[in-house]
Amino acid sequence: MNVYRAVPPNDPLSLLDVGCNVGAWLSDIRNRRSGAQITGVELNAAAIVVAARNLPDAVLARSVAERLPFPDCTFDCVTCLEVMEHLPAANWKSAIGEMRRVLKPGGVLIVTVPHAGLFAWMDSNNVRHRLPGIYKSIVRRGLRDSNYDALERHVEWHKHFTTNELEAIIVPDEWGSVRFSYGGSLMMPLADWLSWPFYRAGKSEHIIRRFLGKLASWDYRIDFGRLSYGICAVCVKA
């Protein structure tokens, strides 16, 4: 899965990243497309501060995926990368609907989510649910919890979707076209486990953490079919 290949060639490009975190993907877009109009929304207030520091020219807002603060038909491209699995199941369809709403006709929505593949059981995000006692004794409280508390939510089970489950949310008949691709295997969850101490210490930019991220990105570009750890949907608005 190489997400950038699906980004439309519009010049200038207007792109919204839903769940932009600290702006890593938006920074990548900025580096590749200097004239792009980049926008991001994110639930995590601390992450928005970092993103604003890294991308002073970006439009950034604290918002949730199912209530995007933008007019209809605003963007050429909307990306939602590894975000849907963090939302309550009841909000999946409304989030996709909102992303479709803010897309221009002919615009492209790119969604990546964990796939129900061979190594789905290794997802480190689900330790808090599988082993709550051990999680609380070691971690006590995750760094993301306060952001969810502010919206009266809780951290969701990290859902790994099958293709059929993703199709039920996206509903291909509502789009001009939808295509799926797969990628990643063992390296993605392994890199996530090894990265956790760096995130916990507030050192996400550490050279070792960045190297692990590159390994995970490399892994995601290899198609392991239905055994893959990730799945990508590229949807074109009619």
User: In this predicted model, what pLDDT tens digit does every residue of 61-97 receive, in sequence order?
Assistant: 999 999 999 999 999 999 999 999 989 999 999 999 9
CA distance linking residue 13 with residue 31, whole number of Å:
13
Strand-pair category, 177-183 with 230-236: antiparallel
Using an 8 Å Cβ cutoff, are 15 and 28 in contact? no
Using an 8 Å Cβ cutoff, are 99 and 78 in contact? yes
According to the model, what pLDDT value does residue 145 have? 62
Q: Answer whether residue 127 is part of any domain.
A: no
CATH number for the domain including 26? 3.40.50.150
Q: Answer whether residue 200 is part of any domain.
A: no
Q: What is the pLDDT of residues 172-204, one digit of tens each?
A: 999 999 999 999 999 999 999 999 889 888 888
Q: Answer whether residue 196 is part of any domain.
A: no
Q: Answer whether residue 88 is part of any domain.
A: yes
In which residue are the tokens 């702006």 written?
Answer: 23
Using an 8 Å Cβ cutoff, are 81 and 216 in contact? no
Using an 8 Å Cβ cutoff, are 69 and 60 in contact? no
CA distance linking residue 156 with residue 148, whole number of Å:
10
Q: Answer whether residue 199 is part of any domain.
A: no
Assigned token pair, 74: 């605003």
Q: Answer whether residue 139 is part of any domain.
A: no
* Cβ-based neighbours of 231, under 8 Å, separated by 6 or more: 1, 112, 113, 114, 115, 161, 163, 166, 180, 181, 182
**pTM, two decimal places:** 0.88
Closest CA to 75 of 50, 103, 48: 103
Please list the ranges in the chain whose pLDDT falls under 50: none
CA distance linking residue 107 with residue 105, whole number of Å:
5
Q: Answer whether residue 124 is part of any domain.
A: no
Q: Answer whether residue 73 is part of any domain.
A: yes
Please provide residue 194's backbone torsions phi and psi, each rounded to the nearest 5 degrees.
Answer: -70, -20
Say how many domains are in the chain: 1
Range of the structural domain that residue 58 is part of = 3-116+144-186+224-236
Closest CA to 163 of 183, 182, 177: 182
